[in-house]
Amino acid sequence: MADFVSLKASITQKGAVLLGKRIACDAFDDFRPLRIVTHAHSDHMVGLQQSIRRCQFLIMTPATRDLLGVMRNSSFLRLDNIKALNYGETLTLLDEQLTLHRADHILGAAQVLVEDLEGTRIVYTGDFRMPNTPVLEADILVLEATYGSLFQIRWFQPVVEDALVSLVESGLNNGPVCIFGYNGKLQEIMQILHTNQIDAPFIVPEKVFQISKVCECYGMQLGKFLSEDEDEAKEITERNEPHIALYHMNSRRYVGKEALRISVSGWEFSGPRRQIAPNEHVIALSDHSDFNGLLRYVEESKPKLVITDNYRAGNATALAKEITKRLGIEAKAMPQ
């Protein structure tokens, strides 16, 4: 059975997750007319320009389309071959059916389900975080493997948000706070701080501002945020009034030297918060499942075969081994 079903899903050397007969997810593939972008992180947008030129359709959720419109450029939104598909809406592709399902990761993130005429359910999780991602039952499951090592467990996950909030609160007593993170997570941080009644304004670069606007359009509650180019933001920073500056992680070396600095990263397993310099901390907020979350997804999905994603950063080989050992399910890392 497993040999037969395994022909229906694979991951190429270039990172394309192939599902059924026509679909390539998260990278371009020469022989697949349909490209799915599961979410707007760069390691899932491999070969996007090639896909735009050569694919019949690029399929993604409306939120992912709008995020790409900001991250790439607005002409992206007007391309004829971009097709927005809502969660739960089914698209029939000859003898296969495609549905996107919500994944708790960043705004717009989707899991992909392909069902064929033989009734095989082929699922690709994309990136996700448990426990708030709905588990899809699968015959073949293609699984992300970012934290696929059995040592990558965040036992302290329930208290991470509190650790972030209290660190920001104490920092604001002494001046501005500067937070570094990736797109999507920065907006999650704004939402966490806002819902915890931290009312100092957020000041962000123009790109982060535009991404935040999209998140707000789709219902996230971020509180008051200003572009650093606005006069009001300039006055706040010149007077050194309490505020929270948020930057993409790539700017970490260049800005915010005088502030309390917080880097937010999932690559932390010792505790919710770690001090790395006199004025700098790391908060272990992740938008991925830890090892236990990945295993729990597999257990509940009940697949006959698991393929772990060995193209993107992570521990796909170790994860496949543990899935077979602990759950008795055939599992392999791809590409080899």
Q: Contact residues for Zn ion (CB under 5 A)?
A: 41, 127
Least distance in angstroms from the C-beta of 68 to Zn ion: 13
Closest to Zn ion by CB, 109 or 141? 109
Least distance in angstroms from the C-beta of 314 to Zn ion: 11
Closest to Zn ion by CB, 67 or 163? 67
Closest to Zn ion by CB, 127 or 290? 127
Least distance in angstroms from the C-beta of 287 to Zn ion: 7
Which amino acid would we find at residue 98?
L
Closest to Zn ion by CB, 38 or 157? 38
Closest by CA position to 196, among listed 237, 217, 172, 168: 168
Closest to Zn ion by CB, 22 or 41? 41
Whether 127 contacts 104, CB under 8 Å: no
Least distance in angstroms from the C-beta of 129 to Zn ion: 10
Q: Which two tokens stand for residue 187?
A: 């907006």
Closest by CA position to 309, among listed 323, 327, 325, 328: 323
How far apart CA 201 and CA 75 sit, in angstroms, is 31
Least distance in angstroms from the C-beta of 312 to Zn ion: 9
How far apart CA 261 and CA 266 sit, in angstroms, is 17
Least distance in angstroms from the C-beta of 28 to Zn ion: 18
Least distance in angstroms from the C-beta of 187 to Zn ion: 13
Closest to Zn ion by CB, 39 or 273? 39
Q: Which two tokens stand for residue 3?
A: 């040999």
Least distance in angstroms from the C-beta of 39 to Zn ion: 6
How far apart CA 96 and CA 92 sit, in angstroms, is 6
How far apart CA 24 and CA 17 sit, in angstroms, is 5
Whether 70 contacts 210, CB under 8 Å: yes
Closest to Zn ion by CB, 8 or 41? 41
Q: Is 251 exposed, middle or buried (0-12, 13-18, 19+ CB in 10 A)?
A: middle
Closest by CA position to 90, among listed 80, 82, 81, 100: 100
Lookup result for tokens 């050194």: 240
Alpha-carbon separation of residue 311 from 40, 130, 259, 279, 290 (angstroms): 17, 22, 37, 36, 18
CB count within 10 Å of CB 10 equals 16
Which amino acid would we find at residue 329?
I
Q: Phi, psi (5° rounding) for residue 103?
A: -130, 135
Closest to Zn ion by CB, 41 or 273? 41
Least distance in angstroms from the C-beta of 175 to Zn ion: 32
Closest to Zn ion by CB, 41 or 332? 41
